[in-house]
Chains A and B, each alone.
Chain A
Amino acid sequence: ETGVTQTPRHLVMGMTNKKSLKCEQHLGHNAMYWYKQSAKKPLELMFVYNFKEQTENNSVPSRFSPECPNSSHLFLHLHTLQPEDSALYLCASSQDQSSYNSPLHFGNGTRLTVT
């Protein structure tokens, strides 16, 4: 079992829907991340939480809303998305943002298609 679990694996939603992506980590980490991976584009960091506090928001549109209720769980709430938001959304965790060697551990992602 992967240390970082994302659900659902696939999601198709209309532009007027509201849905949520879920991420759970079983590694005892304190930092969690959302990344967007689109075809032919580099990985885009969206949000970072460190000890449940949001430390980074990389100019992400407000139709994406993150939530981190505790260090093990991270959500990405989606509403009124656009077709260009279709991508693979990856969750990751790391020990924390202060540790010297703190590699990211990724989940398998949610493949999102906006119709």
Chain B
Amino acid sequence: GEDVEQSLFLSVREGDSSVINCTYTDSSSTYLYWYKQEPGAGLQLLTYIFSNMDMKQDQRLTVLLNKKDKHLSLRIADTQTGDSAIYFCAESIDTGGFKTIFGAGTRLFVKA
């Protein structure tokens, strides 16, 4: 089946690292994505990783992929109050055309 799961909430202190986790079920994932949604806005693509990679780093963001366990994580280093948002994990699966499956989103609270 096609399912992407995330925990609903995460609270961290400013300056700490945040780790947002995601699990998916479909083996035909090609790319996995992280999106950020701030209040009153749409989803903004943050980063992505190809399903054959283990890790991708982009400034404060580190994406780790464990393909065997179908587990994806997003680490935000030195978390700032501006990082408070909802983070969505998504996978692109090959169904003859490509289809994107979204998780329910993790709401990140950053305490000053």
Identify the A interface with B (CB < 8 A): 2, 4, 6, 41-43, 50, 55, 90, 92, 94, 97-109
Contacts and interface: CB of A to CB of B under 8 A. Distances in A.
Nearest to A50: B97
A95 to B, nearest CB: 10
Contacts of A55: 97
Nearest to B44: A106
B98 A97 contact: yes
A104 B100 CA distance: 8
Interface of B: 30-31, 33, 35, 40-45, 48, 50, 88, 90, 92, 97-100, 102-105
Nearest to A97: B97
B40 A108 contact: yes
B103 A42 contact: yes
B41 A102 contact: no
Contact of A109 (B42, B50, B97): B42
Contacts, number: 55
Contacts of A109: 41-42
A70 B3 CA distance: 32
A2 B38 CA distance: 14
A42 B104 contact: yes
7 contacts: A4-B42, A98-B97, A100-B31, A101-B92, A107-B42, A108-B42, A109-B42
Contacts of A106: 35, 42-44
Contact of A90 (B42, B103, B105): B42
A101 B93 CA distance: 10
Given A90-B42, A107-B42, A101 B103 contact: no
A92 B90 CA distance: 14
Contact of A105 (B41, B45, B50, B88): B45
A40 to B, nearest CB: 9
